[in-house]
Structure 1
Amino acid sequence: MIRTTPIECEKKVVIPGNHDARNVGDLCFEEIFGPRSKVERYEGITIVGVDSTQPDLDDGHVGREKYEWMEHCLDTNDFKVVALHHHLISVPKTGRERQIPIDAGDVLELLIRCGTDLVLCGHKHVPWVWNLNGMIITNAGTACTNRVKWNIPQSFNLIEIDEEEKGTIKIYRMYSKGGQELVLEKGREKTMR
């Protein structure tokens, strides 16, 4: 049975992946999860979810029409997190690069200019972490598909942000068959806006 009722949760940020945008899945996605792009503010943390999908295509695209909205959402002293499906930087060991968002350079510049602390992305099913000008970009693996690359085990990221400081971040790679690995621990380096 396919779930067709909205998921009840007080605060959630769920963004579509390329398979969600196929065959008018983008419309179904909104019925179940709500808007494909949204912002949630928690105590000292702002999470901006951005739809980077295009209907019936694997390629990513954020779009200039979302830039001003993103800038407005990120105009805060909070710890800033942006989540999108498509990776903004090529992921090692994934072969020929064809699916970085076509506007990745502009998106990266916007995120750095706005003082974004953490970017969450996926798409390639390979986990990786970058530190770009003090902004952490973490690519998730995959927790449930067997479509993994280069014998890389299924995994997902568990992210801890220090409750007191809202700036010390730890990223753990959690393996679907058990075990975990600390892949990043970093304090907030940016000056406040």
Structure 2
Amino acid sequence: MRLAHVTDLHLGAEEPAVVAGLRADLIAQAPHRLLVSGDLTMRARDDQFRAAVDLLASVGKPWTCVPGNHDLPLDRPARAFDPLGAYRQFVDPEPEPIIRDGGLLLLGLSSPRPYLWKGGRIDAAQVARIGSDLAGAADLKVLMLHHPVFRSEQRPGEALVHGADDTLRAAAAAGVDVILCGHDHVAAQAGLRGMIGLMSGTACSWRVRTDESQSWTMLDLDGDDLRLTVRHWVDGAFRPARTTQWRRTADGRWHA
């Protein structure tokens, strides 16, 4: 199973050359599915959503996404009363998808909130869904949300999503293998209570962090071995920057 984790496209603040390079690299690497953890747009405008959907569709593979905080409108009345209206119209009427695809079982959760625009929240009802929707056996169980549930080495002072601890506890109990996040615009991995936490950088915008370029991450599952390859934008193309090998032991826990 090969999956691509892509996040923080920020269409509306994109670098056109990087957009073209991202499309070409995703086509060349041929993942089975793209997993997109939010911030498709910069300002939640209709044309930005259309551009993001066109880009993802052009890869020619199934894709699944959740909203990010930038996918909520800046207009305060719209944000307060219909925060995901444009997202539902242009991207997916279901902002919290459940995917069963071969050996993949994925639950996406919507973490942006109008009143917690930057930090986000996972509430009690969403935590309960982790246990119910991710029950049962799968080759790989994935939980995806936009806001981070762990801190990266690059940005250790960044806040976690509200409800992070409850989310991790429920995910571990449900046997989640990988938690995908975005938001911080850095490529990072961490062991989380036997699970793997994975963030990727902004995929194609100019909003990069110090010492980070645009990036996405490839996940290659072979039985109980999972290879994570970060692909950074360097010298006009996406190229492999580093690879980490994780192994799942008999108790279901992952170790690098």
Instruction: State the TM-score bracket (shorter-chain normalisation).
Output: 0.7 to 0.9
Q: How does 1:39-78 map to 2 (within 5 A)?
A: 39-55=98-114, 57-78=117-138
Give the CA deviation at 1:11.
4.9
User: Which range moves more in the overlay, 143-152 or 74-83?
Assistant: 143-152
RMSD: 2.3
Query: Residue 71 of structure 2 corresponds to which residue in structure 1?
Result: 20
Identity of aligned residues (%): 24
Tell me how far apart the structure 2 counterparts of residues 155 and 66 of structure 1 sit (CA, whole Å). 29
TM-score (structure 2 length as normaliser): 0.66
Which secondary structure state, in structure 1, belongs to the residue aligned with residue 196 of structure 2?
Answer: strand
Query: Residue 142 of structure 1 corresponds to which residue in structure 2?
Result: 202
Gaps of 5+ in 1: none
Q: Deviations over 1:67-103 (max 9, x none)?
A: 22221111111020111101101222226323x1111
Which secondary structure state, in structure 1, belongs to the residue aligned with residue 125 of structure 2?
Answer: helix
Query: Which AA in structure 2 matches 1:42?
Result: D
Which one has a larger percent helix, Structure 1 or Structure 2?
2
Gaps of 5+ in 2: 1-45
Which secondary structure state, in structure 2, belongs to the residue aligned with residue 108 of structure 1?
Answer: helix
Tell me how far apart the structure 2 counterparts of residues 170 and 59 of structure 1 sit (CA, whole Å). 30
Q: How does 1:76-91 map to 2 (within 5 A)?
A: 76-78=136-138, 79-91=140-152
Tell me how far apart the structure 2 counterparts of residues 191 and 93 of structure 1 sit (CA, whole Å). 31
Number of residues of Structure 1 aligned to a counterpart in Structure 2: 187
The 3 A distance-change label for structure 1 pair 64 and 180 is same
Query: Residue 92 of structure 1 corresponds to which residue in structure 2?
Result: 153
Give the CA deviation at 1:10.
8.8
Query: Which AA in structure 1 matches 2:203?
Result: A
Query: Which AA in structure 2 matches 1:29?
Result: Y
Query: Which AA in structure 2 matches 1:121?
Result: C
Query: Which AA in structure 1 matches 2:91?
Result: F
Is residue 171 from structure 1 mapped to residue 228 from structure 2 by the alignment? yes
The 3 A distance-change label for structure 1 pair 42 and 169 is same
Tell me how far apart the structure 2 counterparts of residues 49 and 26 of structure 1 sit (CA, whole Å). 15
Tell me how far apart the structure 2 counterparts of residues 101 and 12 of structure 1 sit (CA, whole Å). 24
Query: Residue 30 of structure 1 corresponds to which residue in structure 2?
Result: 88
Tell me how far apart the structure 1 counterparts of residues 63 and 155 of structure 2 sit (CA, whole Å). 30
Moved over 3 A (4+): 6-12
TM-score (structure 1 length as normaliser): 0.86
